């Protein structure tokens, strides 16, 4: 039986991540980086993918939560014999901690504690290399742990159990098992670590392991303690911030879309993509969310990544890059995996890197403008880069593109893309005036921006429908139209935006959940679920156009779809409220943060002139 996505929680250290479920199994973990091959991939194939499971030996019930204000997961197991808890976390260290101690590149710590009675536990450690394709040979080094090597990578499992209790199975040398009992006051630790240098650094466990977990708890409490938001839905906003931090690649400042690949948008379908990369379209939404929360350091790092990651493709931008700024993300299928809920193919890499999406230029320039209050001056190279983006917009705004939803079947004139082209020039004109740049073809930018707006108002708005449309001269709808008011193209309360919002709500919602589009040929089989962030765009429009109560009701209905740990996926099934698509999804949590801000601003009667002003 497939484990529901809502039964998984995410742990990580801002370089790598893992999903642990309510049965105590780590079913997804890629090391050393987010987009490295999976070591535990059971979420994509229970039989072949590999896992690391710790659970009571008999029948039990379980519940999961994050320890308050942390990314440390607690799973409580209840049995007829008593209760125990399992704590899971990647060790997080401050820069000062790193100076004082030797540490492996990554350490995933698992701690079992007795609460009441005496419980028998079982452990099964079955790593697989390259997404379940190969079974490694585990070497039992007794006190030095269970060890295996794959290429330059070294993996070690240590425990505080006596060495003879954690053993490699003689008939299955790719699997280690253990059984043990736990009573109140007792604590057993397990450490799964990664190093890429030999000899590998092995973390000491018996005397310092628990202290490392305590420091990790403090690390997360200190980090979320910097969050400045204190308005409506504070807990949901803070949990979303903690989730976003887990999706941040700290060495470069990049933020990945999600830590998983090929979790399907429709069970059994082919809508399965690899989201372990950075999409520039998320840029402006992410920058504004981070700044609103008070995380200037993270916003600064993300902006630096944007300015530097795009050097390889300048003056043009592509849709997605790796966390290192690599522009090539070759897509391939892993045919040996059955896929989550038998949904194949399982893909790694992403073919969107070859698409043309005009809107990306506007989203990046909007992010630069949002960040500009923190920049006294742009250096020559950065100024040349942003001005170059404006020139590209002038050359390409009237071209067909794949659009924000990365439609693979065809290119058309997406209305949303034209609006974002206008946004890009609008922000560039403002930056030019703000910084008094003299080498900018300002008049050309102004004329082009006026032409784009005239085209959108003449051909992107269908008077018969009384709505903006998915494409120029079209008659279909698309939830991306809801962003027009959020990026300052028009007022949320303007007649055209109000009627567009009303029609989208009427035609694209089911059980109060909003699809991004319906009845559009996107070249793929089947129908997907409601799209997470689109619901939050609708909420912002409703709130800012005077329908606050309705907006709050919708917000509260959507957050009820989140997992018990407060995480949301890319999509939600309107019939069952089940989560689908890659999980957790940064774009969805960014939408939650921005929508909560909009609701709070209107509730406090202090709305900004437009959402992202």
Helix, strand or coil for residue 509? strand
Confidence at residue 610, expressed as pLDDT on a 0 to 100 scale: 47
Tokens representing residue 287 in the block? 């920058």
Mean pLDDT, all residues of the chain? 94
Band of the pLDDT at 16, cuts 50, 70, 90? very high
Bridge partner list, 65:
74
Least confident of 256-265, 266-275, 395-404, 583-592: 266-275
Rounded to the nearest 10 degrees, what angle do helices 283-293 and 359-371 cross at? 20
Tens digits of per-residue pLDDT, 57-108?
A: 999 999 999 999 999 999 999 999 999 999 999 999 887 877 777 788 999 9
What are the CA-CA distances from residue 310 to residues 30, 326, 327, 441, 605 (Å)? 25, 9, 8, 22, 40
Percent of the chain residues topping a pLDDT of 90: 81
Mean of pLDDT values over 416-438: 96
Whether residue 612 is predicted with pLDDT greater than 60 in this model: the reply is no
- Please give the backbone phi and psi of residue 134, each rounded to the nearest 5 degrees, phi first: -125, 145
Confidence at residue 259, expressed as pLDDT on a 0 to 100 scale: 98
Mean of pLDDT values over 29-41: 97
Tens digits of per-residue pLDDT, 484-522?
A: 999 999 999 999 999 999 999 999 999 999 999 998 877
Terminal Cα distance for the chain, rounded: 48
- The alpha carbon of residue 273 and the mean position of all alpha carbons in its chain are separated, in whole angstroms, by 13
Give buried/exposed letters for 260-274 (b at 16+ CB in 10 A, else e): bbbbbbbbebbbbbb
Tens digits of per-residue pLDDT, 579-600?
A: 999 999 999 999 999 999 999 9
- Please give the backbone phi and psi of residue 460, each rounded to the nearest 5 degrees, phi first: -95, 0
Cα–Cα nearest to 424, from 321, 317, 325 = 317
Cα–Cα nearest to 493, from 535, 550, 542, 555 = 542
d(CA 459, CA 463): 10
d(CA 353, CA 375): 30
Mean of pLDDT values over 171-177: 90
- pTM of the shown model: 0.95
Confidence at residue 607, expressed as pLDDT on a 0 to 100 scale: 60
d(CA 265, CA 339): 12
Cβ atoms < 10 Å from Cβ of 218: 14
Q: How many residues does the chain have?
A: 613
Confidence at residue 485, expressed as pLDDT on a 0 to 100 scale: 97
Whether residue 606 is predicted with pLDDT greater than 80 in this model: the reply is no
Cβ atoms < 10 Å from Cβ of 465: 16
Whether residue 280 is predicted with pLDDT greater than 90 in this model: the reply is no
Whether residue 523 is predicted with pLDDT greater than 80 in this model: the reply is no
Mean of pLDDT values over 420-444: 96
Band of the pLDDT at 608, cuts 50, 70, 90? low
Confidence at residue 613, expressed as pLDDT on a 0 to 100 scale: 46
Percent of the chain residues topping a pLDDT of 70: 99
In terms of Cβ atoms closer than 10 Å to its own Cβ (0-12, 13-18, 19+), residue 279 is buried
Tens digits of per-residue pLDDT, 183-208?
A: 999 999 999 999 987 777 888 999 99
- Please give the backbone phi and psi of residue 595, each rounded to the nearest 5 degrees, phi first: -70, -40
Q: Which residue has the higher pLDDT, 452 or 605?
A: 452
Mean of pLDDT values over 438-462: 97
- Please give the backbone phi and psi of residue 236, each rounded to the nearest 5 degrees, phi first: -65, -40
């Amino acid at each position: 039986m497939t484990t529901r996505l809502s039964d998984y929680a995410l742990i990580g250290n801002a370089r790598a991540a893992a999903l642990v479920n309510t049965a105590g199994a780590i079913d997804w973990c890629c090391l050393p980086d987010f987009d490295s091959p999976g070591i535990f991939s059971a979420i994509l194939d229970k039989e072949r993918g590999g896992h690391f499971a710790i659970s009571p030996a008999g029948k039990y019930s379980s519940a999961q939560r994050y320890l308050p204000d942390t990314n440390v997961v607690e799973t409580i197991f209840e049995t007829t014999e008593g209760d125990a808890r399992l704590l899971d976390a990647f060790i997080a260290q401050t820069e000062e901690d790193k100076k004082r101690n030797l540490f492996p590149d990554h350490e995933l710590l698992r701690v079992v504690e007795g609460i009441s009675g005496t419980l028998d536990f079982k452990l099964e450690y079955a790593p697989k290399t390259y997404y379940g394709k190969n079974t490694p040979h585990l070497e039992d080094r007794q006190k030095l742990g269970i060890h295996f090597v794959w290429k330059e990578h070294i993996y070690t499992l240590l425990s505080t159990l006596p060495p003879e209790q954690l053993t490699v199975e003689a008939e299955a040398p790719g699997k280690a098992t253990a059984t043990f009992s736990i009573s109140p006051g007792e604590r057993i630790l397990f450490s799964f670590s990664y190093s890429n240098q030999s000899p590998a650094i092995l973390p000491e466990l018996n005397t310092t392991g628990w202290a490392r977990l305590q420091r990790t708890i403090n690390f997360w409490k200190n980090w979320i303690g910097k969050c400045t938001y204190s308005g409506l839905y504070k807990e949901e906003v803070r949990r979303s911030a903690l989730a976003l931090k887990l999706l941040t690649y700290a060495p470069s400042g990049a933020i990945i879309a999600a830590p998983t690949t090929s979790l399907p948008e429709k069970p059994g379908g082919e809508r399965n993509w690899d989201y372990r990369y950075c999409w520039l379209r998320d840029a402006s939404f992410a920058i504004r969310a981070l700044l609103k929360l008070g995380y200037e350091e993270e916003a600064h790092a993300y902006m630096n990544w944007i300015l530097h990651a795009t050097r390889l493709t300048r003056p043009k931008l592509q849709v997605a890059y790796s966390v290192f700024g690599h522009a090539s993300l070759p897509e391939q299928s892993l045919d040996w995996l059955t896929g989550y809920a038998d949904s194949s193919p399982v893909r790694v890499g992403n073919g969107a890197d070859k698409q043309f999406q005009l809107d990306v230029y506007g989203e990046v320039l909007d992010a630069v403008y949002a960040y500009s209050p923190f920049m006294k001056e742009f250096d020559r190279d950065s100024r040349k880069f942003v001005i170059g983006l404006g020139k590209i917009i002038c050359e390409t705004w009237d071209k067909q593109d794949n659009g924000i939803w990365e439609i693979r079947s065809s290119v058309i004139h997406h209305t949303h893309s034209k609006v974002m082209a206008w946004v890009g020039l609008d922000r560039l004109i403002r930056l030019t005036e703000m910084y008094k740049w003299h080498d900018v073809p300002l008049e050309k930018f102004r004329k082009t921006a006026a032409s784009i707006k005239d085209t959108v108002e003449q051909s992107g708005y269908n008077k018969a429908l009384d709505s903006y449309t998915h494409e120029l001269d079209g008659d279909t709808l698309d939830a991306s139209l809801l962003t027009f008011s959020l990026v300052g193209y028009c007022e949320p309360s303007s007649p055209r935006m109000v009627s567009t919002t009303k029609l989208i709500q009427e035609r694209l919602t089911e059980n109060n959940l909003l699809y991004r589009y319906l009845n559009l040929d996107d070249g793929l089989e089947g129908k997907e679920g409601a799209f997470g962030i689109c619901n939050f765009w609708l909420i912002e429009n409703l709130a800012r156009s005077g329908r606050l109560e309705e907006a709050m009701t919708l917000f509260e209905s959507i957050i009820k779809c989140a997992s018990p740990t407060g995480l949301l996926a890319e999509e939600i099934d309107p019939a069952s409220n089940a989560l689908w698509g890659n999980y957790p999804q940064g774009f969805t949590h960014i939408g939650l943060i921005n929508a909560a801000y909009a609701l709070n601003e209107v509730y406090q009667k202090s709305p900004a002139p437009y959402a992202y002003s």
